[in-house]
Amino acid sequence: MSQTTTTMRERVPDDVVEDILAHLPVKSLTRFRCVSKSWNSIITDTTFINKHLKLNLNQSESSMSTNTHSGYLLYTTEDKDSSSSSKELCTVVCNNDRTLTQVSRFEIPSFFEKYRIVGFCNGLFCLASYEKELCHIIYLWNPSIRMCKKLVATRFNRKHNERAAIGFAYDSLNNNFKILRIVCNAMFNESEADAEIYTLSPDSWRKVVVSMESLRGYEPNIGTICDVWGPFKFYNGALHALAFTVGYSFILSFDISYESFHEIMMPRNHLDEVSINFTELAVYKGLTADFVFAHDHGNERGGRILCHIWVMEKYGVAKSWTRKFVIPMEWVWIGHFFGCTNNGELLIKNATGLVSIDPESQNQNILALEDANWVAFLANSMESLVLLDGDSEKESEEEKKNSNVCSMDDLGSASGSGGGLGSGSSGDGDSRATS
């Protein structure tokens, strides 16, 4: 048997083996690492990981037209049946008959307790904390391969309430994952916002300039950017978030490939005569949309609210904003609107639970997801090997010692019962900001 295996190995060139492996799912590849040192070397190689990612992306795009479902829902939940009340990240497929079928479930380690998901793409999740002592520490997490990477951003040490808005996206033009981080003095108009960008390759931070002067240098000064409401939403190749100066609001966009900021104007007077509860950007049928949740003064005692949906019919053109719908609905708390599905249904958590609402018919559909505290829709679900090259056997012992990539098992044993995700992680090997 060993002679046959040796003969087959001699007959199959390495590039053919690599090509075969590149078409396999992540779960199989993580198991096949133990087949041989040569296979482990191939699977953990950065070039192979990028090749596998591109093949998965192409396959994901090509399957969009042949899908027999209407997309996927990601959600986090707390497992009440577990003695430790562990949290889980789950994925379900939305079948065309409106049933849901679970396709994956990952336990979220307890050291993620003080962190929340602020972005995800291609199997990689970005987590950040709003706590002052942790807001400069960001994690990239790949649950499929149980690996995470700690990033240490700049501590700007502002005098007042420091607020960081985070955006995470994949730059398909340059084949890179990027994080945009903007820090403002919330509601204090004393200095410009600070901004920096992290790129996974070459694993580094660098500062960039974002200011009203840089956005509209030819116009009179209308104040500094004092607040940005993250996390950013990614579509049309750019990250988007609502930004504010004193007395003025707009959409701040950041082109992820060319790394340039732009201003997109909001609808003129769209908040006039509206008693606003909260407003949030989302994508509605592929278009930029602003969802304004306002008090229903005629029915406040009934626990009702009005959702005004403004849609930008032509991207970047302020005159194309149109108020498409005004929907009366049960009360919605801030943080309980999770965007839209591909067919334009709103994902909302209200007193009924998690529901989807069709803005045209105003029909409400109850989603059979219990205790979901964060939800996101995606057209296609995919896993990747990104971050696995940080676990390669080719690294020297010194490189491993200074690495800021580690398996969840290693991080779990290091953190003990101390609480926050940052505890027990490596120090000198962290990705730190540079000027």
Low-confidence residues in the chain, pLDDT < 70? 1-10, 64-66, 79-85, 157-162, 186-190, 212-214, 217-223, 298-302, 391-403, 408-435
What pLDDT was estimated at residue 24?
96
Pick from 48, 89, 25: which is nearest to 378 by CA? 89
What gap in Å lies between CA 165 and CA 98, rounded to an integer?
35
What gap in Å lies between CA 389 and CA 42, rounded to an integer?
10
The encoded tokens of residue 175 equal 């084949």
Contact criterion met (CB below 8 Å) for 198 and 205: yes
What pLDDT was estimated at residue 219?
56
Q: For residue 49, give the 3-state DSSP assignment.
A: helix
What pLDDT was estimated at residue 411?
56
Contact criterion met (CB below 8 Å) for 255 and 262: yes
The encoded tokens of residue 49 equal 């990981």
What pLDDT was estimated at residue 218?
52
What pLDDT was estimated at residue 81?
62
Instruction: Name the β-bridge partners of 120.
Output: 125
Longest dimension (CA), the chain: 83
| Burial annotation 358-397 (CB, 10 A radius, 16+ → b, else e) | bbeeeebeebebeebeebbbbeebbbbbbbbbbbbeebee
What pLDDT was estimated at residue 126?
97
| Burial annotation 244-280 (CB, 10 A radius, 16+ → b, else e) | bbeeebbbbbbebeeeebeebebbeeebeeeeebbbb
Pairing of strands 353-357, 304-312: unpaired
Helices (H) and strands (E) in the chain, counts: 8, 26
What pLDDT was estimated at residue 433?
43
What pLDDT was estimated at residue 180?
97
Torsion of CA 117, 120, 123, 125, to 10 degrees: -30
User: Which position has the token pair 């040490």?
Assistant: 157
Contact criterion met (CB below 8 Å) for 206 and 196: yes
Distances (CA, A) of 370 to 144, 287, 290, 359: 23, 30, 28, 23
What pLDDT was estimated at residue 14?
83
How many Cα atoms sit within 13 Å of 31 on the Cβ side?
5
What pLDDT was estimated at residue 187?
55
